[in-house]
Structure 1
Amino acid sequence: MRRLGPGLITGAADDDPSGIATYSQAGAQFGFGLLWTMLLTYPLMVAIQLVSARMGRVTGKGLATNLRRHYSPAVLYFAVLLLFIANTINIAADIAAMGAAAKLVLGGPVQLYVVLLGVFSLLLQMFMPYERYARYLKWLTLTLFAYVAIAFVIPVDWKAVGLSIVKPPIVFSAPYLTTVVAVLGTTISPYLFFWQASQEVEEIRSSPVQQPLLRAPIQATAQLKRINLDTWVGMGLSNGIAFFIILSAAATLHAHHIEVNTTADAASALKPIAGNLAFALFSLGIIGTGMLALPVLAGSAAYAAAGTMKWRNSLALQVNLAKQFYAVIAVSILGGVALTFTHFDPIKALYWSAVINGLAAVPIMALVMLMSGNRRVMGEFAVVGLLRIFGWIATAAMGLAAIGMFWPG
């Protein structure tokens, strides 16, 4: 367990409120018909996250810094702007869902909870190291295993589940393909690439013994082995939970023709094992994963901006030592809070933030793959072989899904 770090936290943060809502909608709307996406996303997600993590460990720099060093300013600004827009919308959707989840249990005005949760998250990020409070918040995410338990409590047609995976009932229609993009977008999101690369850089900074692999290739065997284990386990946890959220929503909501239009609808998927406590259990999961994900979303934007502008950056630094870095975090969180006052529907916002992530991921993934295979960037550790193949397959899959979203009908 001591060897697990950035990959595990990245995987845990991936099942954020946006993910829970999107997977619930996918299961409620299409039954078992989208379970196949989780078997597709797992190896593809591992590939792109491995590439990102390796880049951080090999170069000792985040993705934005590497983009600045090796590409034109226009390419850099385009990638960072895409990330910032997608992240701010995602933050707004997550905070709105957290506020709606709090209202389910406590009552009262949603906007009050939105402001309180947003400000609380910002203060934690500014005055407490992420790793310290993440240790405690991760326990709240154990509520997500309730979705796993449902599959073994209620009758599930496992034959239908197996057939939907072996022979996916793919429908070439705009609603189906848009949902595929949403599922892929909430699973393979741009902020995760920037975050995991930056966390590898943070790991290097945390110990004088550790060095970028370009400077200390002797450390490569141990570090690349750790990154592989960390990423496979972290992404396995993320995709496994996602699989069971879709399965649980299909077996409960889709089976009873219940659409997910509100947070209460999504929470009702937990009723088979939680009964009247379903809303409380759902709210704990939404708020817990949201509090884990908000620093990742805001932090990845801050790392990208700092790499672009050559600012000091680290969540381990005090605010007065990295003022611009923390200013970006504040703008991201407070900008997300402000967006919630437009009174958009939390569930629809979560879904469409996933779609936006799916669209934004494609060009960023292409840039990451180009850098990872470039010996000017990665030296002798340039990504080759199966990892490179699967990284490009992941990029192509996201691109095809994005194009398919505009399929007529």
Structure 2
Amino acid sequence: MTTASKKHSLLKRFWGIFGPGLITGASDDDPSGIATYTQAGAAFGSQLLWSAIVTYPLMVSVQEMCARIGLVTNHGLIGIIKKYYPKYLLYLILIISFPSITLNIGADIAGMGAVGNLLFPAIPAFSFSILFTALILYSVIFWSYHKIAFILKWLCISLVSYILIPFLIGVDWPHVLKDTFLPSFTPDKAYFLMLVGILGTTISPYLFFWQASMEVEERHEKKLMVDKRIIEEMEADVKGGMLFTNIVFYFIILAAGTVLFNAGIHNITTVEEAARALRPLAGDQAYLLFALGVIGTGFLAIPVLGGALSYMMAETFGWKEGLDKKYYEAPGFYLTMAISLIVGLLIHFIGISPIQALIYTAVLYGVTAPVLIALILHICNSKKIMGRYTNKFWSNFFGIATFILMTVSSLFLLWYTLGN
């Protein structure tokens, strides 16, 4: 074997390790998340960069538990809740999740449409939103699981654009490294609300459902027999995927903190505002990379959001499910996805702004996240459900830390939202 073919084989093996974990992690940096991270940088400069490091082990612990549930039980998260827990809990989660995920989809579609309009001003934003929604629906319904997974994995590369932006502009690296490894806090409501927003964006409940269900798909697609090696490969995939998403969110905050904060622009509410503000300050290259990244991540995240909801509904009502199925084999699964995307598209036209949608989504996610994390911990410590693949010490340690942090954050967010 030649050196070139050896390198190609090694790269193929390395790329093949990554699967649901990479897609899940990358989809977390959706247009809504990009808006949140940009606002964090614009409002506080590099002061919140440390959050990318602190949230990493928390994200890994929760997503690894969800992935393990899917692999070991051969059921998604909703399927396990339906089988082992009270029905009222199942329906409560579903009732809260449907509007929150749909609002998230709506905010992402609107963001993609607005950025498309920035790149091509002659075409209205709603035309781009309709086009992008139609393309996503077509690909999800008519393409095979293997093709969808392949394309989603390559779409993750669109996020690299955000890593490149800081290297196109001047960055005070000693100051940045100080803020990264020596956290500083501003004792005011705006700072802690922003921190809550980052937590809510990075540890989102829809990712829990998607991760577990996609591991089931992978198990079926590759005909896996779960053993120690498969679990270790899954853990590597999750750790790599979460590392990728946190690196990207770190660099989005860094870019916004360097360009917007230093220019005195401290309030960014949408991705198109961020892109428009970047152009005169950072140049056309940074502007174009930012805009293309928003569209790429939208194509990546919206199928994950819609897919998570479809898996939840299918498992609740016992429908056939899976992206490996044709439409006629799993009509309820695909109809749920189509309805969620179409309703998400219509949100913009019925007068709910993307920012309103994000606020409502944050509150709804805030209500469900602590409950779901507690359930995931309970499932992963049950020998009845997980057999010999129950949690080890560190999974419980970081899982409980995530539960406490999300509970406190959610209470703070609810108090601020309902009390103001």
| TM-score computed with the length of structure 2 as normaliser | 0.89
Given that 1:147 and 1:270 are in contact with CA atoms closer than 8 Å, whether structure 2 keeps it comes out as: no
Q: Percent identity?
A: 39
Q: CA deviation at 1:308?
A: 1.1
Structure 1 Cα separation of the partners of residues 297 and 359 of structure 2: 16
Question: For the aligned residues, what is the CA RMSD?
Answer: 2.2
- Please give the alpha-carbon distance, in whole angstroms, between the structure 1 residues aligned to 2:168 and 2:380: 45
The whole-number CA distance in structure 1 between the counterparts of 2:254 and 2:73 is 40
Aligned partners of 1:42, 1:353: CA distance in 2, in Å? Answer: 22
Residue number among 213, 233, 236 corresponding to 1:198 in the alignment: 213
AA aligned opposite 1:373? N
| 1:10 alignment partner in structure 2 | 24
Q: 1:174: how far off?
A: 2.9
C-alpha displacement at 1:352, in angstroms? 5.7
Which residue does the alignment assign to 1:244? Answer: 251
Match of 1:22 in 2: 36
Q: Residue 78 of structure 2 aligns with which residue? A: 64
**Cα displacement (A) at 1:20:** 1.0
Identify if the C-alpha distance between structure 1 residues 302 and 136 changes in structure 2 by more than 3 Å, giving closer, same or farther: closer
- Secondary structure of the residue aligned to 2:243 is helix
**Which ranges of structure 1 fall in alignment gaps of 5 or more residues?**
212-218
Alpha-carbon distance in structure 2 between the residues aligned to 1:137 and 1:313 = 19
Which residue of 247, 255, 260 corresponds with 1:253?
260
CA positional deviation for 1:105: 1.1
- State the shift of 1:83 in Å: 2.1
Matching residue within 175, 198, 221 for 1:160: 175
Q: Contact conserved, 1:22 with 1:350, CA < 8 A, in 2? A: no
**Equivalent residue for 1:85, pick from 84, 99, 124:** 99
Counting only pairs closer than 5 Å after superposition, residues 191-340 of structure 1 correspond to structure 2 as 191-208=206-223, 210-211=224-225, 219-258=226-265, 259-268=267-276, 271=279, 275-340=283-348
CA distance in 2, matches of 1:391, 1:255: 37
TM-score by length of 1: 0.91
CA distance in 1, matches of 2:257, 2:181: 17
Task: Give the match for residue 38 of structure 1.
Answer: 52
SS in structure 2 of the partner of residue 151 of structure 1: helix
Q: Which letter maps to 2:409?
A: A
Indicate how the Cα distance of structure 1 residues 270 and 356 shifts in structure 2: closer, same or farther if over 3 A, else same. farther
Give the whole-Å Cα distance in 2 for the aligned partners of 1:138 and 1:26: 27
Q: 1:189 aligns with which of 200, 204, 210?
A: 204
SS of 1:156 mapped into structure 2: coil
Give the Cα separation in 1 of the matches to 2:388 and 2:405: 28
In the TM superposition, what whole-angstrom CA distance separates every residue of 1:305-328 from its partner, at most 9, and x where no partner exists?
111111111111001111111111
CA distance in 1 between partners of 2:198 and 2:153 (Å): 23
Equivalence for 2:381: 373
1:349 deviates by 4.1
Structure 1 residue identity aligned to 2:173: W
Q: Deviation of residue 163 (structure 1)?
A: 3.1
Equivalent of residue 346 in structure 1, options 345, 354, 360? 354
1:347-362 maps to which residues of 2 (within 5 A)?
Answer: 349-350=357-358, 353-354=361-362, 356-362=364-370
Equivalent in 385, 388, 412 of residue 404 of structure 1? 412
Give how far 1:13 is off: 1.2
Query: For 1:256, what is the secondary structure of its paired residue?
Result: coil
3-state SS, counterpart of residue 253 of structure 1: helix
